[in-house]
Amino acid sequence: MARIFITGSSDGIGLLIAKSLISSGHEVVLHARNDQRAADALRAAPGAASVLVADLSSIQANIGLAHEANKTGGFDAVIHNAGVGYREPRRGNTVDGLPPVFAVNSLSPYILTSLINRPKRIVYTSSGLHRQGDGSLEDLEWNQRTWSGYNAYSDSKLHDVLLAFAVARKWEDVYSNAVEPGWVATKMGGAGAPDSLSDAPKTQVWLATGDDAKVTGRYYFHEREQGVHAAAFQADVQDRLLAECERISGVKFE
């Protein structure tokens, strides 16, 4: 039995991952944005060990979440599933004045990775749109560029791959990989999304628990390795992302 923490697991793909893992006998700690969603998550995923509450758009909330997660004990795997879509505005209700897409999709997994006690496996949720992301990493906060939610989302999904590969390179005792779940019919994906919702959680479950999934520094779609953005394997680009996230968050990756 593995002990697994899943961000963004009150609904959508995160909840499907949680229910699959629970049904296989694993101990699952859920995450929700607020108390109401936490209660909903526990009702939807009976058998979950607990649920932690934090708004991942806030730097301090992420730091607090990491500390609370560590208090519950160590994890065999952490699945960074939480994310927001391309319809978000440049500035939403983030207390730090950051674009919500960057704050939740990019900075949150960086902070949580840096502060949660190192698990055996980490899974980062990306997207096929990461291949359209900006590998220059210029203006991550979108202070100078003309805002594009689509481009910001693509950038953030590239950041997730860079983070997964940076962790794989720097932490040799951790299996760290990125996943493309597909364009599926969740609240983010919309009712007309063409990919299989039932298949969307399978690769994350496999990477988090599979005996034949002891791999690292790879990118998967439906348990098959896929090609990635040319910048993803570049150590200098990975290190620049880590440095920029440290500058913005004040949290150091070690």
> Could you give the residue numbers annotated as active site?
153, 157
Strand partners for 179: 125, 220
Which tokens in the block code for residue 156? 């953030």
CB atoms within 10 A of CB 45: 23
Q: List Cα–Cα distances, 43 to 28, 50, 51, in angstroms.
A: 14, 11, 11
Cβ pair 18, 45 in contact under 8 A: yes
Q: What is the side-by-side strand order in the sheet with 50-53?
A: 50-53, 27-32, 3-6, 77-80, 121-125, 175-179, 218-221, 224-225
Cβ pair 12, 193 in contact under 8 A: no
Strand partners for 77: 4, 121
Which tokens in the block code for residue 243? 């440095």
Coil/strand/helix, residue 131: helix
Cβ pair 186, 12 in contact under 8 A: yes
